[in-house]
Amino acid sequence: MSKADEEKKSYSSVFLLAVALLLATAIWIVWDDQISRRPWKKYQYEFSEMQIDRAKAEVTAEQKRLDDSSDYQTVVEELREARQGTEGGETGAAISELSSREAAARIVFDDADFDLRLVKSQIEEAWYEFEHAELMHVDTTGPKHHLEELEAKKVATEARVAEAQARLDQILNEKEEIFSVVETLEKQKKEMESGLGRLEQNVEGLVIPVGPFEFPKIPKIQQVVLNEFDRNAYNQPLARVDRCTSCHTGINKDGFEDAEHPFRTHPDRKLYLGTHSVEKFGCTPCHQGQGPAVNSPEQAHGWVKHWLDPMYQGDDVQAGCIGCHDNVRIEGAETIALGEKLFEQVGCVGCHLVDGYGDLPKIGPYLRRVSAKVDADWLVDWVKNPHEFRPRTKMPNFYFDQAEAEAIAGYILASSAKEGEEWLASHPAPGGIDSSDAALVAKGAELADSLGCRGCHGLAPGESPALLGDSKDIAPNLGNIAEKANQRWMYHWLKNPRGYSPEARMPSLRLSDDEAKALVSYLGTLGEPAGSDDAATRDRLLDADNVAEGEALVRKYGCAGCHNIPGMEAESRIGVELSVFGSKPLEELFFGKRTDIPHTWKDWTYNKINEPRIYETDRIEQVMPHFALSEEDIDAILVFLASRQEAKVPEAYKLADRQREQALVDGLRVIEHYNCVGCHVINDQGGAILARYEENPSLGPPILNGEGAKVQSDWFYSFLKQPVPLRPWLKIRMPTFGVSDDEARKIVEYFAALEGIDSPFVHIDQAALSPEYVEAGKLLASVDYFSCYTCHQQGERKPEGPEEGWAPDLAMASERLNPDWIVEWIKDPQALMPGSRMPAFYDFSDDSPDGPDDVLGGNDLEQVKALRDYLLTLGSMPVAAAPVVADPERVEPAAMDQGTDGTASSETSNAAAPETVQVEG
Amino acid sequence: MLNFRMIAQSAALTLGAALVSTAAIAYEGGAVAGGGSIKGTVKFKGEAPAQEVLDVNKDKKVCAVGEKKSNELVVGADGGIRYAVVSLTNISKGKAFPEGESILDQAGCEYLPYIVIVPTGSELVIKNSDGILHNIHTYSDKNKAVNRAQPKFKKKIKESFAEPEMVKVTCDVHGWMKGWLAVVDHPYYVITDEKGAFELTDVPAGEYEIKVWQEKLGESTQKVTVAGGAEAAVTFELAAK
Ligand SMILES: [Cu+2]
């Protein structure tokens, strides 16, 4: 091809193609940049329209309401009439007449006013003439006379002005009176329309008016920046950016609860967003996901490959709570709270270390003396599959075969033989236990019912008074206890649980020998007593090879994680640490040969707990046992495990009052360890046993809501260490738990923290109380007024009638009660303790006086304060001294309660117990 | 897991529905022309138990006036049950409430009368004729529980109840004291006398369900037809539970 040809050739088609391509690409770029990767724009437009429609609908509705409102229509009509009236008719004529009179009066006034100003300037001139004459020493008579004339004229003119002013004012008043009707009506109308005005403003705030058109606001990325929330690989602080509200437009607005996603209002918005403002916390600290991503919902939610923190949905979000809250036993965090509780109490912590949960007490029974407790054949069956004997036990199933179970039972019996024998030697078989004596059994059953055993234990198969999640029992069900434990052991255990196991959670009920014998006789009827030849089985199990094999198994399966076993003191946890398990990448989870299980963290973990050996292969053995938990329980544990994250939330985002948080966590652990909530309602939780006292709640264990504000800490601490009966009418007995000093302190601080009390100490200066008030209080308490001692004790002064009719000892008030609480209590007992037998002497819901009018001027509040002051002067009873018990024989020598490990104090009211002075542990 | 919010909501709904339905069937009282009456007895089936003697163990000077017996189940010589409450369950229009206030007196550490009929919303006058401390402690499902002291110097207090139901009253000072308030939303309630007899008068002609309530024996209902100017007869038989 020649050059000329080349020049002649047309490239227009190529050029056109290039232009077309360029244009298409340009359009594509714009479309992609502005539309396809900006789904949030569409959402914001949609939401804007929705909001505008709603706002307009509200305007229409309000307009309709006004139109339908007869009040409003009356005002409108009256206003119209009043206005019309001013324009014509009689009123109109009156107004025009007044107007012409006003004009005339104004002329008169102006004239007089002008004259007055004139005469004033003339006076100025006359003064000058007069003073000038004086200065020149000429005759001043003329000027003086002139001045006096003018002064007289001024007085007269002033009178004229005043008169004209008065006339004008009168006319103006008359006029205003006519118009004020209109003004009042206008004001009324405006007030009625104020709601409408506000709603119209709402609409205006949502649109951009352009000429006669209205447009929705132009969408833009919405974002929250959390400064220094994250850390990079070099531990340098990074800001976190959450753009979630770019699409989730209605998340923090009321009224979109039923809207489609992503417009919907946050569930429980007040609870969750009210306490965590979106501006401060954004979304991903709780929800995870990919905060800055806005290209697609999948990306934003982190539902893409290799994104490590996909968004939590539903209750899983609660995994985010624990990053900032040490204490998750709070409203809205129920699932993680359950997960944490299960993790602590089902026994997970026995094998798996988790930061912050490492030093919890072992949850399984003490096995150092177990040879003295159980039937050997029972033990083999139990080890083989505990769920068979007790379906809701916390003890998991290890899938042992018969030989393994026998080996383990052999080792358990052999290792505990020595300490078991020693214990038996000092705990002889008691006489007088007879499960065939119907009367004795009935007495035992009655005691089991009334003492409060059912706060923790089910006494029949299937009875579960103290639930741990929904598949486990906190304390063993005793419906078949006779099969398991011998009666000699039961007797000594009931009398003094810490005498057998220094770790016992079971408290001492301060039983008399006879009570314990009756109870054991009754327990002996629950289930078939062990019928096996115990001695023969033991001989077989104690074979040295069997025991050695058992020891290896006990080590391999980590039994010592939950149980105290002789010879296993140095064993460490056998499971993997789970402190950051929630951050574990999918690649590190071993699915074995399972292809049927979806490859997600959640599915892996759920199946692992539900069927612990599920990923086992020929080469990889797994030892985790089966806990038989319900789906809900496993889900709750998953939420807890998901919360175990590598990333730590910076201090600035955590709950400010760390000390209170710690007090709540520590205290609740102790409270749950001893299951105080089996009997007591604490912080609105627990107290299941109260269902048995519906007929008369005052016979049940006291409700402890608000206890931290009620009692003095010193007293509370001493009481926990050594309970004394406060309510002689109760059959249910506050047991002696033998809490350590540390545990008692944690409980006291927990109750104070619940009430938000920083320093829970109270000092009462009796000398500083007003004698007048003390006297008045004493008078009020007397038989002529409130007659308090008809029911209340005061030290040795006891009320008439049987104990069940008595009320607490008022002599203890100054030691025990917070003075401020006494006032609140007297003001309205039912408000503080619903169902209390204490009646209200006053009604502060109205102003009418209720107290006697001849005491302190009949002032109710002052009378209440006087009662308080009087109570504070009553004899103080040393708390740590001999407890008040109904049976004087059960009172211990005072020297007995000094055990600092909390063991001796559990014995204090039972001198007959053989191990009274024995200090365990 | 139980959701507290759900429970609260359903409770509120139930309450709301209950309020609506109560409002819908609010009783309308007025003059009754050409009504009839229902007369009858409530009898005990089986061998009548003896009245339990109460242990008066406190404030004996005032309280131990004669032997006190429990009124929980009082059966007369001919088997009639005293202190049973007979009422019509499905009446929305009829006679007006009788004039006068309802009074519960605490005299000799007993409630007089044992059962008081109290129209809803009206004032119950509670007297203390003893000059010692008593307290009024009520147990109820629908009404707010009341526990008010009535010391010596308070001869009279007042209380009112919004919802119809049987409300138990006790005194925590004197464990044996017990009485009942029949809180009612129409006047066709009557308490049987010592022979177990009762009479409901001025009943508009029509068909009714009639109910008896006794604290120990429970409830029982029957159908009854009332003709103008006539007397319908009803007999209830209650057996121990
Ligand atoms: Cu009384």
Domain boundary among A722, A751, A780: A751
Least confident stretch, A6-15, A21-30, B183-192: A6-15
What is the distance in angstroms between the Cα of B128 and the nearest Cα belonging to chain A? 13
Identify the three-state secondary structure at position A354: coil
A29-51 pLDDT, tens digit per residue, is 888 877 777 888 888 888 988 88
Residues of chain A with Cβ-Cβ distance to B1 below 8 Å are 334-335, 338, 470, 632
Separation CA A394–CA A626 (nearest Å): 10
A123-154 pLDDT, tens digit per residue, is 999 889 888 888 888 888 888 888 898 999 99
**What is the residue-averaged pLDDT of chain A?**
88
Q: What type of residue sits at position B233?
A: A
| pLDDT for res A1 | 54
Q: Does A786 touch chain B (CB under 8 A)?
A: yes
A706-759 pLDDT, tens digit per residue, is 999 999 999 999 999 999 888 878 899 999 999 999 999 999 999 999 998 877
Whole-complex ipTM:
0.84
Decide: A826 and A835 in contact? Cβ < 8 Å. Answer: no
| pLDDT for res A88 | 67
pLDDT at A909 over 70: no
pLDDT at A55 over 70: yes
- Looking at the domain assignment, is residue A605 inside a domain? no
- Looking at the domain assignment, is residue A14 inside a domain? no
Sign of CA dihedral B90, B93, B96, B101: positive
| pLDDT for res A761 | 81
Residue A115 structural domain: 70-216
**What is the residue-averaged pLDDT of chain B?**
88
Which of B5, B133, B145 is opposite residue A786, by nearest beta carbon?
B133
Say if residue A201 is in the same domain as residue A293. no
Question: What structural domains does chain B harbor?
Answer: 31-239 (2.60.40.420)
pLDDT at B5 over 50: no
| Cα dist from A285 to A242, A244, A278, A318, A329, whole Å | 9, 12, 11, 11, 19
What is the distance in angstroms between the Cα of B122 and the nearest Cα belonging to chain A? 19
Identify the three-state secondary structure at position A778: helix
Which CATH number covers residue A698? 1.10.760
Is B57's CB within 8 Å of A790's CB? Answer: no
Is A840's CB within 8 Å of B132's CB? Answer: no
Decide: B73 and B49 in contact? Cβ < 8 Å. Answer: yes
| pLDDT for res A133 | 87
**Average pLDDT of the segment spanning A406-425:** 96
Among all residues of chain A, which has the CA nearest to that of B3?
A334
Is B172's CB within 8 Å of A791's CB? Answer: yes
pLDDT at A912 over 50: no
Say if residue A132 is in the same domain as residue A269. no
H or E element, residue A776: helix A771-781
> Euclidean distance between the first and final Cα of chain B, in Å?
37
| pLDDT for res A34 | 75
Decide: A285 and A652 in contact? Cβ < 8 Å. Answer: no
Say if residue A815 is in the same domain as residue A886. yes
Contacts of A431 (CB under 8 A, 6+ apart): none
Residues of chain B with Cβ-Cβ distance to A787 below 8 Å are 132-133, 151-152
Separation CA A557–CA A575 (nearest Å): 9
Contacts of A23 (CB under 8 A, 6+ apart): none
Q: How far is the CA of B33 from the centre of ligand 1 (A)?
A: 44
Decide: B236 and B220 in contact? Cβ < 8 Å. Answer: yes
Say if residue A406 is in the same domain as residue A510. yes
Residues of chain A with Cβ-Cβ distance to B136 below 8 Å are 839
A840-850 pLDDT, tens digit per residue, is 999 998 888 99
Q: In a 10 Å sphere around its CB, with 0-12 CB exposed, 13-18 middle and 19+ buried, how is residue A261 labelled?
A: exposed
Tokens describing residue A444: 């035992």
| pLDDT for res A529 | 78
A448-491 pLDDT, tens digit per residue, is 999 999 999 999 998 988 899 989 999 999 999 999 999 999 99
A624-675 pLDDT, tens digit per residue, is 999 999 999 999 999 999 999 888 888 888 887 888 989 999 999 999 999 9
What is the distance in angstroms between the Cα of B67 and the nearest Cα belonging to chain A? 17
pLDDT cut 70: percent of chain A above it: 94
pLDDT at A768 over 90: no
| pLDDT for res A676 | 95
| pLDDT for res B25 | 57
The DSSP output letter for A732 is: S
Separation CA A405–CA A386 (nearest Å): 11
Say if residue A907 is in the same domain as residue A770. yes
Residues of chain B with Cβ-Cβ distance to A790 below 8 Å are 58-59, 132-133, 173
Count the domains in chain A. Answer: 5
**Average pLDDT of the segment spanning A166-181:** 86
pLDDT at B9 over 80: no
A841-891 pLDDT, tens digit per residue, is 999 988 889 999 999 999 999 999 999 999 999 875 443 333 343 443 433
Say if residue A698 is in the same domain as residue A774. no
Say if residue A382 is in the same domain as residue A505. yes
| pLDDT for res A2 | 64
- Provide the phi-psi class of A527: left if phi over 0, else alpha when psi is between -120 and 50, else beta: left
Residues of chain A with Cβ-Cβ distance to B152 below 8 Å are 783-785, 787
The DSSP output letter for A736 is: B
| Cα dist from A407 to A361, A364, A366, A531, whole Å | 27, 19, 19, 21
Which of A801, A829, A839 is opposite residue B58, by nearest beta carbon?
A801
Q: How far is the CA of B174 from the centre of ligand 1 (A)?
A: 4
Say if residue A122 is in the same domain as residue A186. yes
What is the distance in angstroms between the Cα of B159 and the nearest Cα belonging to chain A? 12
Residue with more model confidence, A348 or B7:
A348
- Confidence category of residue B198, pLDDT binned at 50, 70, 90: very high
| pLDDT for res A564 | 95
**Average pLDDT of the segment spanning A195-201:** 86
Domain boundary among A265, A285, A311: A311
Separation CA B241–CA B230 (nearest Å): 34
Which CATH number covers residue A378? 1.10.760.10
Residues of chain B with Cβ-Cβ distance to A783 below 8 Å are 152
Separation CA A47–CA A263 (nearest Å): 7
Say if residue A809 is in the same domain as residue A898. yes
Separation CA A563–CA A509 (nearest Å): 24
Most A CBs within 10 Å, among B135, B155, B169, to test the A interface: B135
Say if residue A851 is in the same domain as residue A835. yes
Is A787's CB within 8 Å of B137's CB? Answer: no
- Looking at the domain assignment, is residue A648 inside a domain? no
- Looking at the domain assignment, is residue A587 inside a domain? no
pLDDT at A168 over 50: yes
Q: Which of A638, A447, A28, A841 is nearest to B157 (CA)?
A: A841
A485-502 pLDDT, tens digit per residue, is 999 999 999 999 999 999
Say if residue A256 is in the same domain as residue A273. yes
Decide: A370 and A566 in contact? Cβ < 8 Å. Answer: no
Identify the three-state secondary structure at position A613: coil
Which of B136, B151, B174 is opposite residue A787, by nearest beta carbon?
B151
Is A837's CB within 8 Å of B137's CB? Answer: yes
- Looking at the domain assignment, is residue A129 inside a domain? yes
- Looking at the domain assignment, is residue A188 inside a domain? yes
- Looking at the domain assignment, is residue A624 inside a domain? no
Is A784's CB within 8 Å of B153's CB? Answer: yes
Separation CA A676–CA A660 (nearest Å): 20
A264-277 pLDDT, tens digit per residue, is 999 999 989 988 88
Domain boundary among A182, A216, A250: A216
B84-131 pLDDT, tens digit per residue, is 999 999 998 999 999 889 999 999 999 999 999 999 999 999 999 999
Say if residue A183 is in the same domain as residue A249. no
Count of beta carbons in the 10 Å neighbourhood of residue A774: 19
Which CATH number covers residue A165? 1.10.287
Among all residues of chain B, which has the CA nearest to that of A635?
B1
**Average pLDDT of the segment spanning A531-553:** 90
Is B135's CB within 8 Å of A839's CB? Answer: yes
Which residues are placed with Cβ below 5 angstroms of ligand 1, an ion?
Answer: B 134, 171, 173-174, 177
Q: Does A783 touch chain B (CB under 8 A)?
A: yes
Chain B residues with a Cβ under 8 Å from any Cβ in chain A? 1, 5, 57-60, 132-133, 135-137, 145, 147-149, 151-153, 172-175
Residue B199 β-bridge partners:
B39
| Cα dist from A409 to A376, A815, B201, whole Å | 8, 52, 80
Q: What type of residue sits at position A636?
A: A
| pLDDT for res A207 | 83
Identify the three-state secondary structure at position B67: coil
pLDDT at A780 over 50: yes
Q: What type of residue sits at position B16?
A: G
Decide: A635 and A626 in contact? Cβ < 8 Å. Answer: no
| pLDDT for res A7 | 80
What is the distance in angstroms between the Cα of B173 and the nearest Cα belonging to chain A? 6
- Looking at the domain assignment, is residue A436 inside a domain? yes
